[in-house]
Amino acid sequence: MTERRYFGTDGIRGRVGEAPITPDFMLRLGWAAGQAFKRDGQRNSVLIGKDTRLSGYMFESALEAGLSAAGVDVKLLGPMPTPAIAYLTRTFRASAGIVISASHNPHQDNGIKFFSAAGTKLDDAFETDIERWLDRPIEVVDSADLGKAFRVDDAPGRYVEFCKSTVPNEFSLDGMKIVLDCAHGATYYVAPKVFSELGARVSVIGGDPDGLNINLNVGSTHLDALKAAVKDSNADLGIAFDGDGDRVLMVDRDGTEVDGDELLFVIAAQRHAAGKLKGGVVGTLMTNLGVELAFQDQGIPFERVKVGDRYVMERLLLNGWLLGGEGSGHLVMRDCTSTGDGIVSALQVLLAVWRSGRSLTELRGGMTKLPQVMINVRVDQRFDPLSRTDVASAAKSAESRLGTAGRILLRASGTEPLIRVMAEGQDEALITVVAQELADVVAGSRS
């Protein structure tokens, strides 16, 4: 397959004003996407949603113009979580959905994610097709066939009701005190409504977006504020979303972080105990080895795929399984939704708490995470680290030193110019040394 120039692990992402995150590129991208998604003989429409970045307004207008030029109608959803666009794309029977977001990145960055008509991430072949259209000059349809634009005013309410529908009618959060960290991002409006309407006493941090403060010292990548808020308010737990709402992490009542691997274990173990798991669980190359070992103890099948929730979804579909996810908090439950959804995932964790009658702290205690060291090495250009002889040799040596009690992983980030060096094992001192030595070799080989 032709190598893609723009699409990374999760769409297209970069610094605002620097190629390709520019208005002129977004105009061409809108047109190219319109051509790729357009089906003859029907009136085609595409939904556009965004997070709370100031630059979203600019790119929304550019995409709208490009889609209209291709003869595709546009439905504008405004600031909404990424998974809400996936859900609404299905319910509106749209040709595709577009999200303007850079997820957990700061406001200086932005990006584009696409969803198919089924509300799933695009496969590599479809992204390659969009890039082929990008190479062609824009051809505007006849003026009578231009796409029209509509604003969808009831989108938040539709999504709130959908989230609530993913748990049983008898499920209730009455008596539970929860702190929500909305990262000044796309969940700031809908998340408090979902949890309060289910009965929880909700307090919110990171709920006042101004276009520039998204993910700023709050959200799933900056948990200190949530930890403090949970302890100060004597809450039962805290829930942190990222800027676009497709990730979730939690904090238990004593302020201890509960990452995506642990949340995945909590959901899977409870479903398994209730006979509702239906198959196994899919993780990624980054999933903590402790998760895999805990699943082995419980007789739960487990498989790893490349990093990225769309690869998790692909394997789930292939296996006919329902549950998978990543340590970053991208969790996928095919029986609930078609993509990673922070709010829905949090509800599934709380459902496990409710059904078991045990606290989050008790449930997460069913597995022991192995020490894991991650070092990011910045590079000037994308390259495969294992294609370098010195790096491959150093990685092989590191694996030998860890033996069967650990593992090494080298991979290029799909969203940033980084090589991620990870070492994992039972001996924290050893993996720290091994990871740093390997990172030094990568750094010396990066140019």
% of the chain beyond a pLDDT of 70:
98
Q: Would you name the residues annotated as active-site residues?
A: 103
**Of 265, 280, 216, 268, which is closest to residue 243 (Cα–Cα)?**
216
pLDDT of residue 171 exceeding 80: yes
Biggest CA–CA distance in the chain, Å, is 68
CATH 3.40.120.10 spans which residues of the chain? Answer: 12-155, 175-254, 259-364
**Do 325 and 263 form a contact (C-beta atoms < 8 A)?**
yes
- C-alpha dihedral sign at 302, 304, 305, 307: positive
d(CA 178, CA 201): 6
pLDDT of residue 411 exceeding 90: no
Q: In what order do the strands lie in the sheet with 323-325?
A: 302-305, 281-284, 323-325, 331-333
Average pLDDT over residues 338-365: 96
**Of 344, 342, 343, 339, which is closest to residue 116 (Cα–Cα)?**
339
- How many Cα atoms within 13 Å fall on the side-chain side of residue 198? 30
For residue 164, the one-letter residue type is: K
Q: What is the pTM of this model?
A: 0.90
Model confidence at 73, pLDDT cuts 50, 70, 90, reads very high
Count of Cβ atoms closer than 10 Å to residue 239 Cβ: 30
Copy the structure tokens of residue 269: 């173990």
Tens of pLDDT, residue by residue over 354-401, are 999 999 999 999 999 999 999 999 887 666 776 788 999 999 999 999
Tens of pLDDT, residue by residue over 213-234, are 999 999 999 999 999 999 999 9
Tens of pLDDT, residue by residue over 414-441, are 667 788 999 999 899 999 999 999 999 9
CATH of 259-364, one of 3.40.120.10, 3.40.50.720, 3.40.50.150, 3.30.360.10: 3.40.120.10
pLDDT at site 409? 92
pLDDT at site 231? 97
The radius of gyration computed from the CA coordinates of the chain, to the nearest angstrom, equals: 22
Q: Please provide the CATH number assigned to the domain covering 175-254.
A: 3.40.120.10
**Of 215, 159, 153, which is closest to residue 190 (Cα–Cα)?**
159
Q: Please provide the CATH number assigned to the domain covering 372-444.
A: 3.30.310.50
d(CA 94, CA 21): 25
Element (H, E) at 178: strand 177-181
Q: Please provide the CATH number assigned to the domain covering 12-155.
A: 3.40.120.10
Q: For residue 290, which phi and psi values (nearest 5 degrees)?
A: -60, -30
pLDDT of residue 1 exceeding 70: no
pLDDT at site 383? 66
Where do the DSSP E strands lie in 218-335?
237-241, 248-252, 257-258, 281-284, 302-305, 323-325, 331-333
Tens of pLDDT, residue by residue over 111-164, are 999 999 999 998 888 999 999 999 999 999 999 999 999 999 999 999 999 999
pLDDT at site 217? 97
CATH 3.30.310.50 spans which residues of the chain? Answer: 372-444
From 191-205, 336-350, 406-420, the region with the lowest mean pLDDT = 406-420
pLDDT at site 17? 98
pLDDT at site 124? 85
d(CA 221, CA 105): 9
